[in-house]
Structure 1
Amino acid sequence: MNLSQIEAFCTVADSGSVSEAARQLDCNRTKLSMSIKALEKELSVELFIRSGNQLMLSEAGKAIYRDSQNLLVTEARIRQTCAQVSGDFSAEVWIARDDSLPDELWQSLSPHLNNDFPSTSFNIILASSGDLANLVVTGQVDFAFGVDYERTDDPHVTYQPLGKIRMMSVCGAVHPLSKMRRVTDNDLRHSMQAAMVYLNEKDNPELKPLSIRHVGFSSFDYMLHCILNEDAWGVLPEPLIRHHLRKQELAVIKHTYGLTQEDYCMFTPAGMSEHPAMSWLADKLNEYLFDF
């Protein structure tokens, strides 16, 4: 009995088909059938009840299925431990991100990180765009992804642009600013602004509120909620608000800086080798921004 036979047994049990199991394991169907038969011969039991093209676990198969799964889990854990000890991968990676890209995108990418890089645990936290670089520099996270407002040559952090992201000055569709053919700085200063705030002690003029009256939030999503419900205006990333613009719930303000572009970046500590999972993630985010 060996682990490849146990893996074959569990995969056939889960899929109910030798053909499907062979596809999942990327191996020859005949070879897989021979592994099952060899395991049955060694254990002196039939593990499956064969009915046409379908396979169901026999009583003996049901009895050993849980233990067989545990064997595979133990094997994976041993491999992960050895990979971590040898330094091939970090045991744990902390990632900060802002919410300039939709949550649905991150929810679709996260399972692939766990499945494709099983030797590493990933912790993804939400942070203000203005704090991303500082979180990397101070070692609170290993990598960060988001809109780059820093525009400075910090020797402690590497900025890798993954694509451009359009920032829009918007307000609610019935807001007085939406009816104006030309909006001045003075008009904006006297209208309530939903602004981005951050904890980083370094002054960032890009994120200073323009309006005399403003309320600050650490996330674009909170800003969006305020703009939609509290008669405010603010600067938001296009990927987050496109469907609201299409539904005409938001309007772009006709101001000189109503539409601007910023870099969407990966922030990495200077001199740190890039984790293969972060290279994969950067490629996926680049593809999204390019297609967008």
Structure 2
Amino acid sequence: MRLTRRRLLTAAAAAAMALPRRAWTATTLEGGGMRLDTLSDGRLELPPSFLFGTLPEAEAAEVMARHGLSPDAPLIAPCNVTLLRSEDRTALFDVGAGPDFQPTAGELPAALDALGVAPEKITDVIFTHGHPDHLWGLLDEFDEPLFPEAALWMGGTEFDYWTDPATAGSIGEARLAFYAGASRRLEAVADRMRRIADGDVPLPGVTARLTPGHTPGHMAFDLGQALLVGDCIGNGHVAFSDPAMALGSDQAPQEAAETRAKLMAELAASGQALIGFHLPEGGIGTVRTEGQGYRFAPA
């Protein structure tokens, strides 16, 4: 496999040449008859309590200090959407946050434009799970499908969870807007959604793996040269140093910790690359053993 990094710049319109240009960093992984590019959808800014609110106060303070995180500053989570291109497919894994979630996210359309990939050329969209930063970019600002020609793929357990009215009563107040946004978008494309299960192969060279805990039906995807992990490994610091720690960013923290610890050990032993939606430096790298835990080694 071959890894490269590059900068993608959008040129300002002729009438606005004085405006600053936006830049996206892409990491590219090539091998096995496919090319993978990670494109930035921007970033999330999250209160530290979103991640560490389930920990005792003293333990949360110690963990944050160990990783150079401030309890008085937001956690910055990069958002890496993966584009797969093969001989006959142009596929996205997740679609970013769209225009309605956080103002610091929703940049995928501009990043695709910078790469020269038109939305109507996307043949497939494959979802890891239904959280806003992964799903809400499915519709544009006019509530029209942004990728009108694409086949849509999602784990059946995940689709059922976000379209079940009972979820509104069980998800908790803090995530109730997540349910409302997901159900509206999934209902708009329900007739196009193709349900997949653990072990299914939605595209040649792409195998689904059920990795529950972050959400009930979260999926990772084995691409041969890399494992695309979505949010089951959801950050580049504490998820690596303490993978068995239950974190508030996961809907089922203990189940998510068990999934994460198992994957971390597997990836460290195999040397297979991973692609993480919220990992730094473009999101592609490897897992290295460090002390009693691990560290992320970016490509």
Give the TM interval when normalised to the shorter protein.
under 0.3
TM-score under structure 2 normalisation? 0.20
Structure number with higher strand proportion? 2
Structure number with higher helix proportion? 1
TM-score under structure 1 normalisation? 0.20
Does 1 or 2 have the higher relative contact order (CA < 8 Å, sep 6+)?
1
